[in-house]
Structure 1
Amino acid sequence: MNQNLKYSGQWFLPNSNERVFGTLTFENNIGCRLELMGELNGENANFTDIPIILGVTSDSKQITLVDNFLLSRGGSTLRQYHEIGTPLNIYAINNILEGAHFFSVDELMFNSLNAELYNLDEWLGISGFDTKKLDSDDLSKVNINYNLPDNINFIINPKLKGSFTFHIKHPTIYAYQKDISVKQSIRFVLQNEEKQTLADILYQLFIFQQLLVISLYKETYPIAIELFTDKKMTESESSKHSKIILYKSYSKKNIDFRIKNSWNMLINYQDIKDTFPKIIETWYEKYENVKPAIQLVVQQFFNSTFNENTFLNLAQAAETFHSRFYDHERIPKKDYNKMKEDILDVVKEPSYVFWLKNQFQFGNNLTLNDRLTELLVKYSTEFLDKAIGDKANFVQIVKENRNYLTHYNKNKESKALKVFDLHKLSEQLKLLLVSAFFIEIGIEKSILEKKILETGYLNFRV
């Protein structure tokens, strides 16, 4: 989905034979648009939201447009003594599927998916090129030796299998050869036992993408996505897995396009290859439970600028992560109830009793202070301990700044951190949370500590 496209063709609704000429465009950071010279006819034609629009391009490609929204509807413009022109209607398109016609949303079911993701190749760190033969003292010779690596297969759950597959783009051979290009690419593949909706199979990819983001410690996005279905493309065609190319817009305005190398990633595949099948299985298994915390953290890698909301989101992520794994009362429930009864027995003033009952309703819940303290005990590393210093002071500063930004109080303004220091505090929180995610899915703390120390302070800005 790095490439832009422009298709001219005829467009129509699934329940209509009337076709309209128009142009479909896909541009990165802008998205997908369909400009029609006229109006669609058929059921739902007058709705602003149209689930499915079908198309046949000028070079005979079948296109299905999914989740379409009317941006503007042109009206007839009358000019004296002039012929009336055809009005222009413009739609925003969420998904372009190239390769088949799907006549209803119910038909959008897929068996498998493969995707190229930015920096996936470097993260995996496996190449079929024999670089030793390229490193020769004889500058008059270049020997290119390539062997396609074996695919890496793993089981995510009983109904979902995954793999990393290797592909080679062979060189073009000319009568007179001036240069030669051999390019390897790696794809992440998902194979479902049961058919999945478009949204569900893309969500399965999204879960892996988030693991890749925190591993790279950098944003990433799909470069290309292919879907496979056993839908018959024609009545005479036997059932087979047909390839559908998906174009979907992902904003890349804030993407840092510099390639990450293995030495400046937090974790790469080579660090965990022996236990990777279990790690990815556990990541998918635990994802739903920890999703709110993970998404709050991952979001920070896509933000090019820091602001106070960055810090607040990370503080919220710490609270929600702890509450989903280690939620417990500050005092055993039995003891807390007895204490509550003893206090209420002493207090007689009705207004005081009412106030106390409200306080007791949440009085046994853990505070941010409690939760951060426990997270630091369980997940901090040697590197993070040195960066944070006094843990009690760190927890206090996080709490004070969270409370100040959430419940503004002029009297506490003097204790609020300036932007530079708040940014550093946020980076410490982020590294603590990412470390917690990794440890929870089975990455050994010793591996994590070693990698963080090797990668260094500059990469983590703590």
Structure 2
Amino acid sequence: MRIEEEYKKTGYFWLPEKEENKIPGILSIDDGGKIELEIVGHFDEGLKPLSGDDNLSRIIGHVEKDGLVTLDDCFYTKKNFSFGGISKSKVVVHKALSGAAWDKDEKVVFNTFSFSVDCLDEWVGISGIDVDNDWDRRTATIRYDPPEKIRMELKNGMTLEICFAYTLPGSPNLTEAKITQRAFFRLESENPRDLSDFTSIAFKITNLMCFAMDEIVSLKNVSATSSEMLRDGGNDKKYPVPISIYYQSIPFSEKIPKKTWHEMLFNFGAIKTNAQQMFNNWLNAYEYLSPALGLYFSTKAGAQKYLDGKFLALAQGLETYHRRTSSETLMDKDSYEVLVSEVLEGCPAEHLDWLKGRLMHGNEINLGKRIKKIIEPFKDHLGTSAERSKLLRKIVDTRNYLTHYSESLHDKSAKGRDLWVLCMKMEVIFNLHFLKVIGFADEEISRVVENCHPLKRKLKEI
């Protein structure tokens, strides 16, 4: 989670149903979403240095400016006991909800969940700001018409909206008149849902943005509302109380990315006519492609510090992708079962268990055939037949060498820059398949390949 402004606030904190035992402390949230609470003393009643129970399911607080805050899933990382002096303890917090207090066992449920990601304005590419310059008269007219919300129905019962927040010039504006606009996503459910339901969808949408922008972008500006939490707005009107939410979301990059639309794989304009179906296709893909997606995004987020680790994750990801999208085997199930029975009949009893283990996965196709099947739909973008065969062989030999370190494959495996280029080629294969997964037609994929500069650079290496 991106924390754009420093969050370090003092306040008083207590356990639910024990408000009389308030403890002063400082609540800090670092960029990335790491939350820590430093308190004077500890929440235990009396001295319990050997209790061993350092988990705190929920802490309530009242901090400067923000008011009430609820801290969930907490535990001590430092617990000091004083004998007449002042001691401090530290508590790690998994989630902070600023704006309200929940009871000890009360479920945290919401109806709406709003969030943004890095570079979302550039990806959406819609602005209500219109500037008309008259250079001859040295005048300028600025007009703002708020863009309409873009609404999409998700198959999980939620609604996803692309919304636009804005600020208009205040007064007096003698030297500056400023209009700002920012895009954000808004998930809505008619029935209250657990917070984890929303964060799960937000994680998948953030990954979609990472894929679309060909960059690791981070979640930010998260807030939620509930129909059960309303405040009086006057004139007999009630409004939902906005709750700011903080947690360590992934993916996260310390470096704030800067992307223009032509540096992205695709932007919203490329999918706007079929955006609802494409968002649903992506969310549905997690039902059967989650392991492959996880391996791909781990390489983009830099989880592997060394190039050979990145390569192995990509190779495993492609193999997993094919396993999840194809049930192809060497021979049909009945024929293989007959063959296994015949082989086992002639096996000495003392080797039977060993042979059964060997034959358990004997009907599966090997990595080379899986990669060939994966490349086939996009062969026109991946070089000549000879180049594709060389690519396939190099992936297999390098994977086998880095897995088994067989000396016979040492000279055949990719190393140095060749290994880096091989990783880029495998990323391209993933990119092309993910475009297909979310609903791009073949001719649309060809346009992406033609117009996307990052993808073209990777393809030049093939």
Q: Are the aligned partners of 1:381 and 1:445 in contact in 2 as well (CA < 8 Å)?
A: no
Q: Are the aligned partners of 1:70 and 1:91 in contact in 2 as well (CA < 8 Å)?
A: yes
Aligned match of 2:15: 13
| 1:262 paired to 2:261 | yes
* Cα distance in 2, alignment partners of residues 301 and 139 from structure 1: 51
Q: How does 1:403-414 map to 2 (within 5 A)?
A: 403-414=400-411
Q: Are the aligned partners of 1:154 and 1:163 in contact in 2 as well (CA < 8 Å)?
A: yes
**What is the deviation of 1:453?**
2.1
**What is the deviation of 1:193?**
3.0
The more displaced of 254-263 and 286-295 is 254-263
Aligned match of 2:316: 316
| 1:442 paired to 2:439 | yes
**What is the deviation of 1:40?**
1.3
SS at match of 2:39: strand
Q: Are the aligned partners of 1:3 and 1:27 in contact in 2 as well (CA < 8 Å)?
A: no
Distance 1:25 1:358, change over 3 A: closer
**What is the deviation of 1:243?**
1.2
Correspondent of 1:386 among 383, 388, 396: 383
Aligned match of 2:219: 222
* Cα distance in 1, alignment partners of residues 347 and 286 from structure 2: 49
For structure 1, the 5+ residue unaligned runs are 78-83
Report the residue type matching 1:276 in the other structure. A
Correspondent of 1:204 among 201, 212, 219: 201
Q: Are the aligned partners of 2:428 and 2:458 in contact in 1 as well (CA < 8 Å)?
A: no
**What is the deviation of 1:144?**
1.4
| 1:367 paired to 2:369 | no
* Cα distance in 1, alignment partners of residues 354 and 52 from structure 2: 56
Q: How does 1:41-60 map to 2 (within 5 A)?
A: 41=44, 47-59=53-65
Report the residue type matching 2:26 in the other structure. T
C-alpha RMSD of the superposition: 2.8
* Cα distance in 1, alignment partners of residues 274 and 213 from structure 2: 18
SS at match of 2:161: strand
Q: Deviations over 1:272-316 (max 9, x none)?
A: 111111111222223221111111111222218552111111111
Distance 1:348 1:187, change over 3 A: closer
| 1:35 paired to 2:34 | no
* Cα distance in 2, alignment partners of residues 460 and 89 from structure 1: 54
For structure 2, the 5+ residue unaligned runs are none
**What is the deviation of 1:317?**
1.0
Distance 1:42 1:231, change over 3 A: farther
* Cα distance in 2, alignment partners of residues 36 and 291 from structure 1: 40
Report how many residues are paired.
449
Distance 1:158 1:92, change over 3 A: closer
Q: Are the aligned partners of 1:219 and 1:255 in contact in 2 as well (CA < 8 Å)?
A: no
Report the residue type matching 2:159 in the other structure. K
| 1:336 paired to 2:336 | yes
Distance 1:408 1:182, change over 3 A: same
* Cα distance in 2, alignment partners of residues 124 and 269 from structure 1: 5
**What is the deviation of 1:348?**
5.9
Aligned match of 1:80: none
**What is the deviation of 1:335?**
2.3
Q: Are the aligned partners of 2:215 and 2:300 in contact in 1 as well (CA < 8 Å)?
A: yes
Distance 1:60 1:292, change over 3 A: closer
* Cα distance in 1, alignment partners of residues 321 and 231 from structure 2: 50
**What is the deviation of 1:319?**
1.3
Q: % of aligned pairs identical?
A: 21
* Cα distance in 2, alignment partners of residues 10 and 420 from structure 1: 56
Distance 1:171 1:252, change over 3 A: farther
Distance 1:426 1:26, change over 3 A: same
**What is the deviation of 1:389?**
5.8
Q: Are the aligned partners of 2:231 and 2:239 in contact in 1 as well (CA < 8 Å)?
A: no
